[in-house]
Amino acid sequence: MDGQGNLVIHVESGSLGYFSARMKTQGLFAVQHGRIEARVKLPFGQGIWPAFWMLGSDFDAVGWPQCGEIDIMENIGSEPSTNHGSVHGPGYSGNRDVTAAYTLPGGRRFSDEFHTFAIQWSEGSISFYVDGVCYKTVTTASIPGTAQWVFDSPFFLLLDVAVGGNFPGPPDASTQFPQDMLIDYVRVYQQQSEVAAPVISQSGLVDAASFNSMVAPGGMASVFGSELASATSEDLYDSALGAFVRSFSGTRVLVNGVPGALTYVSPAQINFQIPWETLTDTLLNVEVDHDGTLSNSFPTTMPSSAPSLFSVNGTAILTCVGGSPQPGVACTLWGTGFGPTIPPQSDGVPAMARVPAVTASPCLLSVGGQSAVVTYCGAAPGLLIYQMDFVYPTGAQATGSVVPARITINGNTGIATLPGSFWGSPLSSPPRA
């Protein structure tokens, strides 16, 4: 900050090269449609390249330019009076982008004082503004005939000052350092909808397996409330995408603005995957977007793992060779919230059967007070959930027909109840006939 209420991106030249900064809201905030604007005073000079721009929130999953890019303010310092507004997408990116320029009248320069750069963004249309003057509107008809319009999904915001590059060229002897870009504000405006606002209940975000309150990136979660959706569906896998959709009938679940992959949607409950890129150990907001109307924000903090097991009537789903759990028998559990895998997985994409994805941190399992040998802990082939294979330990203490269990991953523990053996407690070999 400069002491006057302005954010500063400061640019210097030193013996090791150029020093600058980029700020982004990726994983923290995203927006779909509305008016997005910033009041900025630009730096200047050959090779200086300030920008206020946006990228699709699916950038990590699909890459650029498939994710889409919207350049609200893009200036090259050798043209201190001209702003470029552009969109980039598949088939119209780089020097083939859809673009327009606005030049200040009277020889004024963007470095002389603050100016407001904005877009007015609606479905199928983006209008570009400088100081309230609309100088370009891009629609679905503006892009090449066979190209895809990729601008009706959430985008995150970026502010930066680059030095050099193909667009502005390198600095030269005329370039002055240091340089500053001053940002008075960044604002997002969205129109209120007449749709009844969705409401997340007070304890409405839980782990989808055990209904515990702790959830983790990549894990399956459930959100409960009212008016969450106008329709119900449990068939949300898109075979063309090879992934679960992030929007159904106008409904999305946003984790700090990033939509999660949906597996079940109804007016009172939504099951979804927490986006992998979600920050951990940081206060986050979970919201439901129903036809453009946002619910109340549900605050939460996520650890890197929050292991839990899928269950029926409180007892974990357990399958074992031979049908029943016995000492030395190979068994399998299914869970969620086990944390990152190697190789890493993508949002909403089921795990591949051919390439096992194991958890990045070791999985520890205790059954009835006894440590179990875990033979596999990672992605369940063809699913979004996790799989744990283990050898049922000798001496596990049962309580009636069930056995307590604990899963610990990266220091985080989940408690579960497993079905016990048919032959009493402690578990032992079956009696002779």
E strands, 131-246, where? Answer: 133-139, 155-163, 179-189, 199-207, 220-226, 237-238, 243-244
Per-residue burial over 274-313, b = 16 or more CB atoms within 10 Å of its CB, e = otherwise: bbbbbeeeeebbbbbbbbbbbbbebebebbbbbbbbbbee
Name the burial class of residue 100, with classes exposed (0-12), middle (13-18) and buried (19+) by CB atoms within 10 angstroms of its CB: middle
Task: Give dist(CA 215, CA 206) in Å, integer.
Answer: 7
Task: Give dist(CA 351, CA 381) in Å, integer.
Answer: 5
Element (H, E) at 146: none
Q: DSSP character for 57?
A: T
Residue among 255, 251, 245, 246 nearest 290 (CA): 251
Active site residue 74: yes
Polymer length of the chain: 433
Other CB atoms within a 10 A radius of the CB of residue 428 amount to 14
Active site residue 79: no
Q: DSSP character for 60?
A: H
Catalytic residue among 69, 79, 277, 287: 69
- φ/ψ of residue 106, rounded to 5: 70, 20
Strand partners, 18: 13
Cβ neighbours of residue 3 under 8 Å, at least 6 residues apart?
none
Q: In whole angstroms, how far apart are CA 87 and each of 125, 260, 289?
A: 11, 25, 25
Structure-token match 């859809």, residue found: 98
The CA-CA-CA angle for residues 271, 277, 283, to 5°, reads 80
Residue among 401, 388, 395 nearest 426 (CA): 395
End-to-end Cα, the chain, rounded Å: 81
Catalytic residue among 74, 79, 194, 227: 74
Structure-token match 């702790």, residue found: 214
Strand partners, 335: 309, 386
Contact in structure between 180 and 9 (CB atoms under 8 Å)? yes
| Residues noted as catalytic | 69, 74
